[in-house]
Structure 1
Amino acid sequence: MTHLIVVSDYDPNWPERFQDLRRRLAPHVADLAVSIEHVGSTAVPGCAAKPIIDLDIVVSDEALMPALISRLAGQGYRHEGDLGIPGRQAFQAPPTAPVHHLYGVVADSKPHLDHVLLRDYLRQRRDEVRRYSALKVALAKQFPADHEGRAAYSAAKSRLVEDLVAKSYAARAASES
Protein backbone atom coordinates (compact mmCIF):
# COMPACT_ATOMS: atom_id res chain seq x y z
CA MET A 1 0.00 0.00 0.00
CA THR A 2 1.29 3.44 -0.92
CA HIS A 3 1.00 6.11 1.76
CA LEU A 4 -0.36 9.39 0.47
CA ILE A 5 0.51 12.89 1.62
CA VAL A 6 -1.47 13.85 4.70
CA VAL A 7 -3.38 17.12 4.57
CA SER A 8 -5.52 17.73 7.64
CA ASP A 9 -8.36 20.08 8.41
CA TYR A 10 -7.26 23.08 10.47
CA ASP A 11 -6.31 22.10 14.01
CA PRO A 12 -6.90 24.79 16.65
CA ASN A 13 -3.92 23.33 18.55
CA TRP A 14 -1.45 24.40 15.86
CA PRO A 15 -0.88 27.89 17.35
CA GLU A 16 -0.12 26.26 20.70
CA ARG A 17 2.34 23.86 19.01
CA PHE A 18 4.01 26.89 17.41
CA GLN A 19 4.27 28.64 20.79
CA ASP A 20 5.87 25.51 22.29
CA LEU A 21 8.47 25.40 19.52
CA ARG A 22 9.04 29.14 19.84
CA ARG A 23 9.66 28.76 23.60
CA ARG A 24 12.20 26.00 22.88
CA LEU A 25 14.08 28.11 20.30
CA ALA A 26 13.92 31.59 21.79
CA PRO A 27 16.53 31.19 24.56
CA HIS A 28 19.11 30.08 21.99
CA VAL A 29 18.53 32.82 19.41
CA ALA A 30 16.96 35.73 21.33
CA ASP A 31 19.96 38.02 20.87
CA LEU A 32 20.04 37.31 17.11
CA ALA A 33 16.35 37.18 16.22
CA VAL A 34 14.07 40.11 15.47
CA SER A 35 11.18 37.66 15.79
CA ILE A 36 10.16 34.04 15.47
CA GLU A 37 7.14 33.84 13.17
CA HIS A 38 4.51 31.16 12.67
CA VAL A 39 4.18 30.88 8.89
CA GLY A 40 2.70 28.47 6.39
CA SER A 41 -0.79 27.03 6.30
CA THR A 42 -0.84 25.96 9.95
CA ALA A 43 -0.66 29.70 10.81
CA VAL A 44 -3.94 30.41 8.98
CA PRO A 45 -7.14 29.59 10.90
CA GLY A 46 -9.42 27.39 8.83
CA CYS A 47 -6.74 26.37 6.33
CA ALA A 48 -6.15 22.69 5.59
CA ALA A 49 -2.48 21.82 5.91
CA LYS A 50 0.11 19.15 6.28
CA PRO A 51 0.20 18.94 10.09
CA ILE A 52 3.73 20.33 10.33
CA ILE A 53 4.41 23.73 11.91
CA ASP A 54 6.52 26.13 9.81
CA LEU A 55 8.62 28.73 11.63
CA ASP A 56 10.79 31.60 10.45
CA ILE A 57 13.54 32.89 12.67
CA VAL A 58 13.90 36.45 11.43
CA VAL A 59 17.27 38.22 11.77
CA SER A 60 17.96 41.88 11.02
CA ASP A 61 20.94 41.34 8.71
CA GLU A 62 22.43 38.62 6.51
CA ALA A 63 25.67 38.96 8.51
CA LEU A 64 23.90 37.30 11.46
CA MET A 65 23.03 34.15 9.51
CA PRO A 66 26.32 32.27 10.22
CA ALA A 67 25.80 32.80 13.96
CA LEU A 68 22.19 31.60 13.65
CA ILE A 69 23.31 28.51 11.75
CA SER A 70 25.92 27.79 14.42
CA ARG A 71 23.49 28.28 17.31
CA LEU A 72 20.90 26.01 15.74
CA ALA A 73 23.56 23.36 15.00
CA GLY A 74 24.39 23.46 18.71
CA GLN A 75 20.74 22.55 19.38
CA GLY A 76 20.83 19.58 17.02
CA TYR A 77 19.44 21.24 13.88
CA ARG A 78 21.03 20.29 10.57
CA HIS A 79 21.54 23.18 8.16
CA GLU A 80 20.20 22.25 4.71
CA GLY A 81 21.15 25.42 2.79
CA ASP A 82 18.60 27.42 0.86
CA LEU A 83 16.90 24.43 -0.83
CA GLY A 84 16.63 26.48 -4.02
CA ILE A 85 15.16 29.62 -2.42
CA PRO A 86 17.87 32.28 -2.20
CA GLY A 87 17.72 34.27 1.02
CA ARG A 88 16.09 31.52 3.05
CA GLN A 89 18.12 29.02 5.09
CA ALA A 90 16.41 25.72 5.90
CA PHE A 91 17.05 23.49 8.91
CA GLN A 92 16.13 19.91 9.67
CA ALA A 93 14.84 19.49 13.20
CA PRO A 94 16.61 17.21 15.65
CA PRO A 95 15.09 13.72 15.77
CA THR A 96 13.95 14.25 19.37
CA ALA A 97 12.04 17.48 18.59
CA PRO A 98 8.42 17.69 17.47
CA VAL A 99 8.20 17.59 13.67
CA HIS A 100 8.47 21.09 12.18
CA HIS A 101 10.05 23.07 9.37
CA LEU A 102 12.45 25.81 10.44
CA TYR A 103 13.84 28.61 8.29
CA GLY A 104 16.19 31.51 8.87
CA VAL A 105 15.34 34.67 6.94
CA VAL A 106 16.42 38.30 6.93
CA ALA A 107 13.77 40.83 7.92
CA ASP A 108 11.95 42.30 4.91
CA SER A 109 13.76 40.01 2.46
CA LYS A 110 11.68 38.41 -0.30
CA PRO A 111 11.49 35.00 1.47
CA HIS A 112 10.42 36.68 4.71
CA LEU A 113 7.79 38.86 3.02
CA ASP A 114 6.53 35.95 0.90
CA HIS A 115 5.83 34.01 4.10
CA VAL A 116 4.28 36.74 6.26
CA LEU A 117 2.36 38.59 3.55
CA LEU A 118 0.81 35.35 2.28
CA ARG A 119 -0.08 34.30 5.83
CA ASP A 120 -1.61 37.68 6.62
CA TYR A 121 -3.47 37.85 3.30
CA LEU A 122 -5.01 34.41 3.82
CA ARG A 123 -6.01 35.30 7.36
CA GLN A 124 -8.18 38.05 5.83
CA ARG A 125 -9.55 36.09 2.84
CA ARG A 126 -11.71 33.10 3.75
CA ASP A 127 -12.58 32.56 0.07
CA GLU A 128 -8.91 32.13 -0.82
CA VAL A 129 -8.40 29.83 2.19
CA ARG A 130 -11.22 27.60 0.95
CA ARG A 131 -9.77 27.54 -2.58
CA TYR A 132 -6.24 26.82 -1.38
CA SER A 133 -7.44 24.15 1.08
CA ALA A 134 -9.53 22.39 -1.57
CA LEU A 135 -6.56 22.22 -3.94
CA LYS A 136 -4.24 20.82 -1.25
CA VAL A 137 -6.76 18.18 -0.18
CA ALA A 138 -7.29 17.09 -3.81
CA LEU A 139 -3.56 16.99 -4.57
CA ALA A 140 -2.78 15.03 -1.40
CA LYS A 141 -5.02 12.24 -2.68
CA GLN A 142 -2.94 12.02 -5.86
CA PHE A 143 0.64 11.86 -4.65
CA PRO A 144 2.56 9.37 -2.51
CA ALA A 145 4.34 10.60 0.61
CA ASP A 146 7.80 9.89 -0.77
CA HIS A 147 10.40 12.38 -2.02
CA GLU A 148 9.09 12.41 -5.60
CA GLY A 149 5.46 12.61 -4.48
CA ARG A 150 6.11 15.54 -2.16
CA ALA A 151 7.99 17.33 -4.94
CA ALA A 152 5.11 16.71 -7.37
CA TYR A 153 2.58 17.90 -4.77
CA SER A 154 4.52 21.14 -4.27
CA ALA A 155 4.90 21.70 -8.00
CA ALA A 156 1.19 21.09 -8.59
CA LYS A 157 0.17 23.75 -6.08
CA SER A 158 2.88 26.25 -7.06
CA ARG A 159 0.76 28.17 -9.59
CA LEU A 160 -1.92 28.91 -7.01
CA VAL A 161 0.69 29.76 -4.37
CA GLU A 162 2.38 32.19 -6.78
CA ASP A 163 -1.00 33.78 -7.53
CA LEU A 164 -1.77 34.13 -3.83
CA VAL A 165 1.66 35.60 -3.07
CA ALA A 166 1.19 38.15 -5.88
CA LYS A 167 -2.22 39.06 -4.46
CA SER A 168 -0.69 39.43 -1.00
CA TYR A 169 1.89 41.92 -2.31
CA ALA A 170 -0.85 43.80 -4.18
CA ALA A 171 -2.98 43.96 -1.04
CA ARG A 172 -0.02 45.33 0.90
CA ALA A 173 0.65 47.98 -1.75
CA ALA A 174 -3.01 48.99 -1.79
CA SER A 175 -3.09 49.34 2.00
CA GLU A 176 0.03 51.54 1.93
CA SER A 177 -1.32 53.97 -0.67
Structure 2
Amino acid sequence: MPTPQQIVDFTEPPAPEGRSPFVRPQRVAPVEVVAYDERWPAIAAELDTRIREALGTRVLQLEHVGSTSVPGLPAKPVIDLDLTVADPEREEAWLPQLEAAGFELTVREPWWHGHRCLSLDSPRANLHVFGPTGPEQYKHRIFRDWLRTDAADRSRYAEVKSSAALAATEAGETIMQYNARKAAVIQEIYGRAFRAAGLLD
Protein backbone atom coordinates (compact mmCIF):
# COMPACT_ATOMS: atom_id res chain seq x y z
CA MET A 1 0.00 0.00 0.00
CA PRO A 2 1.33 3.50 -0.75
CA THR A 3 2.02 5.98 2.02
CA PRO A 4 -0.24 9.00 2.58
CA GLN A 5 2.53 11.23 1.18
CA GLN A 6 2.66 9.16 -2.01
CA ILE A 7 -1.12 9.41 -2.40
CA VAL A 8 -1.19 13.21 -2.18
CA ASP A 9 1.90 13.69 -4.39
CA PHE A 10 1.22 14.68 -8.00
CA THR A 11 4.83 14.57 -9.18
CA GLU A 12 5.10 12.59 -12.41
CA PRO A 13 8.47 11.48 -13.78
CA PRO A 14 9.11 12.36 -17.41
CA ALA A 15 9.33 9.64 -19.99
CA PRO A 16 12.92 8.39 -20.38
CA GLU A 17 14.75 9.96 -23.29
CA GLY A 18 13.72 8.44 -26.59
CA ARG A 19 10.69 6.63 -25.17
CA SER A 20 7.01 7.38 -25.60
CA PRO A 21 4.20 6.05 -23.42
CA PHE A 22 1.92 5.72 -26.43
CA VAL A 23 1.68 2.27 -27.97
CA ARG A 24 -1.00 3.62 -30.29
CA PRO A 25 -0.66 7.24 -31.46
CA GLN A 26 -2.98 9.75 -29.86
CA ARG A 27 -6.01 10.65 -31.91
CA VAL A 28 -7.19 14.20 -32.43
CA ALA A 29 -10.97 14.22 -32.32
CA PRO A 30 -13.74 16.40 -30.92
CA VAL A 31 -13.99 16.07 -27.14
CA GLU A 32 -17.58 15.16 -26.34
CA VAL A 33 -18.91 15.76 -22.84
CA VAL A 34 -22.50 14.59 -22.44
CA ALA A 35 -25.11 14.58 -19.69
CA TYR A 36 -24.88 11.80 -17.13
CA ASP A 37 -26.30 8.54 -18.48
CA GLU A 38 -28.13 6.27 -16.05
CA ARG A 39 -26.86 3.27 -18.04
CA TRP A 40 -23.20 3.89 -17.18
CA PRO A 41 -23.12 1.90 -13.91
CA ALA A 42 -24.66 -1.12 -15.65
CA ILE A 43 -22.13 -0.88 -18.48
CA ALA A 44 -19.32 -0.68 -15.94
CA ALA A 45 -20.71 -3.76 -14.16
CA GLU A 46 -20.75 -5.68 -17.45
CA LEU A 47 -17.13 -4.71 -18.08
CA ASP A 48 -16.23 -5.74 -14.54
CA THR A 49 -17.66 -9.18 -15.26
CA ARG A 50 -15.83 -9.45 -18.59
CA ILE A 51 -12.49 -8.55 -16.98
CA ARG A 52 -12.95 -10.92 -14.04
CA GLU A 53 -13.92 -13.74 -16.38
CA ALA A 54 -10.76 -13.08 -18.40
CA LEU A 55 -8.36 -12.84 -15.45
CA GLY A 56 -9.97 -14.75 -12.61
CA THR A 57 -8.07 -14.41 -9.33
CA ARG A 58 -5.38 -12.29 -10.99
CA VAL A 59 -7.75 -9.38 -10.38
CA LEU A 60 -6.61 -7.98 -7.04
CA GLN A 61 -8.93 -4.99 -7.26
CA LEU A 62 -11.20 -3.52 -9.92
CA GLU A 63 -13.04 -0.22 -9.56
CA HIS A 64 -15.27 1.95 -11.72
CA VAL A 65 -13.70 5.41 -11.48
CA GLY A 66 -13.74 8.67 -13.39
CA SER A 67 -16.67 10.91 -14.17
CA THR A 68 -19.00 8.15 -15.38
CA SER A 69 -18.85 6.72 -11.85
CA VAL A 70 -20.32 9.90 -10.30
CA PRO A 71 -24.14 10.09 -10.56
CA GLY A 72 -25.30 13.32 -12.14
CA LEU A 73 -21.89 14.39 -13.44
CA PRO A 74 -21.51 15.11 -17.17
CA ALA A 75 -18.71 13.08 -18.76
CA LYS A 76 -17.13 11.81 -21.91
CA PRO A 77 -19.11 8.65 -22.73
CA VAL A 78 -16.14 6.44 -21.92
CA ILE A 79 -16.11 4.13 -18.89
CA ASP A 80 -12.90 4.30 -16.84
CA LEU A 81 -11.83 1.39 -14.66
CA ASP A 82 -8.77 0.84 -12.46
CA LEU A 83 -7.39 -2.69 -12.38
CA THR A 84 -4.80 -3.79 -9.83
CA VAL A 85 -2.67 -6.83 -10.68
CA ALA A 86 0.27 -8.33 -8.83
CA ASP A 87 2.90 -7.07 -11.28
CA PRO A 88 2.06 -4.92 -14.33
CA GLU A 89 5.56 -5.62 -15.71
CA ARG A 90 4.67 -9.29 -16.17
CA GLU A 91 2.36 -8.55 -19.06
CA GLU A 92 2.28 -12.21 -20.07
CA ALA A 93 0.27 -12.89 -16.89
CA TRP A 94 -2.63 -10.60 -17.74
CA LEU A 95 -2.36 -8.83 -21.12
CA PRO A 96 -3.10 -11.74 -23.53
CA GLN A 97 -6.28 -12.57 -21.62
CA LEU A 98 -7.52 -8.99 -21.80
CA GLU A 99 -6.65 -8.75 -25.48
CA ALA A 100 -8.67 -11.92 -26.06
CA ALA A 101 -11.56 -10.16 -24.28
CA GLY A 102 -11.38 -7.29 -26.79
CA PHE A 103 -9.09 -4.78 -25.08
CA GLU A 104 -6.18 -3.10 -26.89
CA LEU A 105 -3.02 -1.86 -25.20
CA THR A 106 -2.65 1.87 -25.93
CA VAL A 107 -0.29 3.18 -23.23
CA ARG A 108 2.72 1.62 -21.53
CA GLU A 109 4.66 3.74 -19.04
CA PRO A 110 6.51 1.52 -16.56
CA TRP A 111 8.31 4.57 -15.14
CA TRP A 112 4.99 5.84 -13.70
CA HIS A 113 3.78 3.26 -11.17
CA GLY A 114 3.93 0.54 -13.83
CA HIS A 115 0.92 2.08 -15.55
CA ARG A 116 -0.65 0.52 -18.61
CA CYS A 117 -3.86 1.60 -20.29
CA LEU A 118 -6.03 -0.55 -22.50
CA SER A 119 -8.95 0.69 -24.57
CA LEU A 120 -12.15 -0.88 -25.73
CA ASP A 121 -14.22 0.46 -28.62
CA SER A 122 -17.58 -1.11 -27.80
CA PRO A 123 -18.60 -0.18 -25.20
CA ARG A 124 -16.09 2.65 -25.08
CA ALA A 125 -13.83 2.14 -22.11
CA ASN A 126 -10.36 2.74 -20.72
CA LEU A 127 -8.83 0.17 -18.39
CA HIS A 128 -5.92 1.47 -16.31
CA VAL A 129 -3.61 -1.20 -14.91
CA PHE A 130 -1.42 -0.65 -11.83
CA GLY A 131 0.42 -2.72 -9.25
CA PRO A 132 -0.70 -3.03 -5.61
CA THR A 133 1.63 -0.31 -4.32
CA GLY A 134 0.51 2.32 -6.84
CA PRO A 135 -1.03 5.49 -5.37
CA GLU A 136 -3.19 6.36 -8.39
CA GLN A 137 -5.97 3.91 -7.59
CA TYR A 138 -6.35 5.54 -4.17
CA LYS A 139 -6.39 9.03 -5.69
CA HIS A 140 -9.09 8.05 -8.15
CA ARG A 141 -11.35 6.49 -5.51
CA ILE A 142 -10.93 9.43 -3.14
CA PHE A 143 -11.78 11.87 -5.96
CA ARG A 144 -14.79 9.79 -7.04
CA ASP A 145 -16.17 9.42 -3.54
CA TRP A 146 -15.73 13.12 -2.79
CA LEU A 147 -17.57 14.18 -5.94
CA ARG A 148 -20.38 11.76 -5.12
CA THR A 149 -20.99 13.60 -1.84
CA ASP A 150 -20.02 17.24 -2.50
CA ALA A 151 -22.51 19.00 -4.76
CA ALA A 152 -20.51 22.25 -5.00
CA ASP A 153 -17.36 20.56 -6.30
CA ARG A 154 -19.42 18.32 -8.55
CA SER A 155 -20.94 21.43 -10.15
CA ARG A 156 -17.55 23.15 -10.34
CA TYR A 157 -16.02 20.14 -12.06
CA ALA A 158 -18.93 19.88 -14.50
CA GLU A 159 -18.40 23.49 -15.54
CA VAL A 160 -14.66 23.12 -16.18
CA LYS A 161 -15.19 19.88 -18.09
CA SER A 162 -17.66 21.52 -20.45
CA SER A 163 -15.51 24.61 -21.06
CA ALA A 164 -12.33 22.53 -21.50
CA ALA A 165 -14.07 20.23 -23.98
CA LEU A 166 -15.27 23.17 -26.05
CA ALA A 167 -11.85 24.86 -26.04
CA ALA A 168 -9.96 21.65 -26.81
CA THR A 169 -12.28 20.80 -29.68
CA GLU A 170 -12.02 24.28 -31.19
CA ALA A 171 -8.20 24.11 -30.93
CA GLY A 172 -7.99 20.59 -32.42
CA GLU A 173 -6.32 19.19 -29.31
CA THR A 174 -5.82 15.65 -27.99
CA ILE A 175 -7.45 14.20 -24.88
CA MET A 176 -4.20 14.79 -22.97
CA GLN A 177 -4.42 18.50 -23.81
CA TYR A 178 -8.08 18.53 -22.77
CA ASN A 179 -7.02 16.98 -19.45
CA ALA A 180 -4.38 19.68 -18.99
CA ARG A 181 -7.05 22.37 -19.30
CA LYS A 182 -8.84 20.86 -16.28
CA ALA A 183 -5.73 20.29 -14.16
CA ALA A 184 -5.84 23.38 -11.94
CA VAL A 185 -9.47 22.83 -10.87
CA ILE A 186 -8.88 19.11 -10.39
CA GLN A 187 -5.97 19.83 -8.02
CA GLU A 188 -8.13 22.25 -6.02
CA ILE A 189 -10.83 19.61 -5.64
CA TYR A 190 -8.28 16.96 -4.74
CA GLY A 191 -6.99 19.21 -1.96
CA ARG A 192 -10.42 19.34 -0.36
CA ALA A 193 -10.96 15.62 -0.89
CA PHE A 194 -7.59 14.76 0.66
CA ARG A 195 -8.30 16.94 3.70
CA ALA A 196 -11.69 15.32 4.13
CA ALA A 197 -10.04 11.90 3.98
CA GLY A 198 -7.50 12.90 6.65
CA LEU A 199 -4.53 12.84 4.29
CA LEU A 200 -3.82 16.59 4.58
CA ASP A 201 -4.10 18.97 7.52
Shorter-normalised TM-score: what interval?
0.7 to 0.9
Partner residue of 1:86?
113
Mark the runs of 5 or more structure 1 residues left unpaired by the alignment. Answer: none
Using a 3 Å threshold, how does the CA distance of structure 1 residues 64 and 154 change in structure 2: closer, same or farther?
closer
**RMSD over aligned Cα, in angstroms?**
2.8
Equivalent pairs, count: 172
* TM-aligned CA deviation for residue 92 of structure 1: 2.4
Instruction: Give the CA deviation at 1:26.
Output: 1.2
Task: Give matches, 1:38-57, under 5 Å.
Answer: 38-57=64-83
Offset, 1:82: 2.9
Residue 161 of structure 1 aligns to a residue whose secondary structure is: helix
Tell me, yes or no, if the aligned pair for 1:144 and 1:150 is still in contact at 8 Å.
Answer: no
Seen in structure 2, the aligned counterparts of structure 1 residues 29 and 165 have a Cα distance that, compared at 3 Å, is farther
What letter corresponds to residue 35 of structure 2 in structure 1?
Answer: D
Mapping for residues 165-176 of structure 1, pairs under 5 Å: 165-173=190-198
Percent identity, please. Answer: 26
**CA pair 55-144 structure 1, distance change in 2 beyond 3 A:** same
- Is residue 14–residue 42 contact of structure 1 (8 Å, CA) maintained in 2? yes
Matched with 2:124 is 99
1:152 aligned onto 2:184? no
Q: Rate the CA distance shift 1:84–1:43 in 2: closer, same or farther, 3 A.
A: farther
Name the structure 1 match of 2:147.
122
- Alpha-carbon offset, residue 31 of structure 1: 1.0
Q: Structure 2 vs 1, CA of residues 13 and 84 (structure 1 numbering), >3 Å: closer, same or farther?
A: farther
Q: Which amino acid aligns with 2:179?
A: S
**Using a 3 Å threshold, how does the CA distance of structure 1 residues 92 and 83 change in structure 2: closer, same or farther?**
farther
CA apart distance, 1:8? 0.9
Mark the CA change 1:116 to 1:166 in structure 2 (over 3 Å): closer, same or farther: same
Q: Which runs of 5+ in 2 are unaligned?
A: 1-28
1:141 aligns to what?
A: 166
Q: In structure 1, how many angstroms separate the alpha carbons of the residues matched to 2:108 and 2:101?
A: 17
Report Cα offsets for 1:99-151 as digits up to 9, x if no partner. 11111123352111111111111111111000000111122222228973433
1:16-39 superposed Cα distances (whole Å, 9 cap, x missing partner): 110111122111112111232100
Shift of 1:164: 2.0
